[in-house]
Structure 1
Amino acid sequence: MKEINIEKAPFCPSARTELDNSIIYGAIGGTVTKPRVTYFKQPQPFTDKLLAKISPITPTEVFRIAAPCAASNCQHFDGKDCRLAQRIVEKLSVVVEELPPCPIRRDCRWWQQSGKVACIRCPQVITNNYNPSELMRELAEPASV
């Protein structure tokens, strides 16, 4: 995998653990139809020890994971912006009125790109949702540039 300079790359707030330098920054709760992320006070590195503790569950079933944005190596990146963030802002309902206490906000691509309008929708985003609504399925599909 291509190494990403984490000093310059903003964090993707909906990453997978396979990416270098991934961290966990929230736990997934709520219900199957209304999942919600509870954000940690401090992000934690994702480790093999943690993976062993949650096995056989996949990390994205229980955690929100961030990693340096893969930019052009990501199906959602259009060369300048994250199209996933754009679609989330355009199509998802607001789920919180105030900014959630997110520990990655300062370095988050969605925050840098869309600000509060992305953050007040973010707690409902689940990276690997095994029972997605039709809308969530549509949002996750890579859009053509």
Structure 2
Amino acid sequence: MENIAAEKTTLCPSARPESEDSVIFGIISGTVAEPRVAYLKQPQKLTNELIAKASPITPAEIFRTAAPCATKGCQHFDGQDCRLATRIVQKLPAIAQELPPCAIRRDCRWWKQEGKAACMRCPQVITDNYNPSELAIEVATPTVS
């Protein structure tokens, strides 16, 4: 896998794998009932080879990816903040006992906006979760402003 240097840009830690310039920063592990992100030491560029290796599973089912924050192009962005990060901190329980070893933290929108509180909840955020709890659905549903 190719190592990439983190760009000096704000990254969305919940970006779709097909987003331009997306990188893998975690692998989904745990169980179907309680999936968890296992963090990589270094983010890896999402390549066609990795996507092919994931098949028939979608990349978002097994990879946690980050990409430059889309700001106004994102349904969760209110012009200043990520409302998804706000809902995660307000509604999801903290599950990490200490800060996860995250390679994108210094550039992460959620970290910059919500700090440690977002990181303590991040390992339970799964992009393509086909068995989400009602709470996970509520948190992921964009709010209308």
SS in 1 for 2:96: coil
Partner of 1:69: 69
1:23 maps onto 2:31 in alignment: no
Cα-to-partner distance string for 1:85-138 (whole Å, 9 max, x where unaligned):
000000000101210000000000000000000000000000111110000011
Partner of 1:11: 11
Partner of 1:121: 121
Return the letter of the residue paired with 1:45.
K
Unmatched 5+ stretches in structure 2: 1-5
Cα-to-partner distance string for 1:35-82 (whole Å, 9 max, x where unaligned):
110100000000011111111110110010000000010000000000
Please tell me the root mean square deviation across aligned C-alpha atoms, in Å: 1.2
Unmatched 5+ stretches in structure 1: 1-5
In the superposition, the TM-score normalised over structure 1's length comes to 0.93
Separation of aligned partners in 2, 1:74 and 1:22: 15
Partner of 1:3: none
Deviation at 1:9, TM superposition (A): 3.6
Partner of 1:45: 45
Return the letter of the residue paired with 1:24.
I
Q: Which runs of 4+ in 1 moved over 3 A?
A: 6-9
SS in 1 for 2:88: helix
**Percent identity over paired residues:** 65
Separation of aligned partners in 2, 1:25 and 1:9: 15
Deviation at 1:7, TM superposition (A): 5.3
Separation of aligned partners in 1, 2:44 and 2:8: 20
In the superposition, the TM-score normalised over structure 2's length comes to 0.93
SS in 1 for 2:38: strand
